[in-house]
Structure formats: structure tokens, C-alpha cells
Amino acid sequence: MLIIAALLCFAIGVAHSYLGERYILERLLRKTQIPHLFGSDLFTKRTLRFAWHLTTIAWWGLGYLVWAASQEEPNLRLIILWTVGLVFFTSGAIALVASRGKHLSWVVFWAIAALTLFAGTSS
């Protein structure tokens, strides 16, 4: 059952990113009446796009944890910490690159990543 749940986490992430990009973001980002921040609407559009796809990354991370739970893994604490750390590291990298450093969520994402990865290495 858990393996099916994990596969569904992966599948819903793919569907969310693909369908959201195709049917929601593409149409939304064509609009000209999006708030302008930092002199244009580019920051707003990039933020909407990367925030949308961060959901997929989070679901994939959760799916991996569900899969790990199905394996009765003795190092589950380590797997949880490393998965959370990698999900937040990836989220931070996407936020940093997509916003060119202007959306400061990457600082918090990387702090979470550092703390959880450090805890995972000291276990």
C-alpha cells in the first residue's frame, strides 16, 4: 500500500507541474495586469512559476519518505533528515536562481537544509 502511495506522490507531482504549467501558469503569465515589483512584472511571474513547481518537489520528497517507510528501513531517521535537507536545498536553489536572489525564501530554505543535513551527519 505504501509503495502505491509513494508512486501516487510522484505522479501527482508530475501532473501538477505539467498541467499547471500548461493550463494555469501559461495563461496567467500572459496577463499584463500582474503586480510590478522591482520595476516590472518579471519578479512576480518568476515567483509564481517557481512557487508552483516547489510544490512538486515537496510532494516528491514526501513520496520518497513514504516509500522509505514501506521498506522498514533501520536508518529511517537519517533518511528523513537527508530527504528534508535535500528538498529544502533544492527549493532554495530554485528560489535563488529563479528570483536572481531577490526572493529571500532561499535563505530560510538553505538554513533548514543546513540544520537538517547537519543533524543527519551527526546521527
Tens-place pLDDT, residues 93-123: 999 999 999 999 999 999 999 999 999 888 6
List the beta bridge partners of residue 37. 40
Tell me the pLDDT band of 12, cut-offs 50, 70 and 90.
very high
Q: Which domain holds residue 31?
A: 2-121
Q: What is the tens place of the pLDDT at every residue in 59-99?
A: 999 999 999 988 977 888 899 999 999 999 999 999 999 99
Cα–Cα separations (whole angstroms), residue 115 to 30, 64, 66, 118: 39, 20, 22, 5
Region 40-55: mean pLDDT is: 91
Structural domain count of the chain: 1
- 5: cell is 502511495
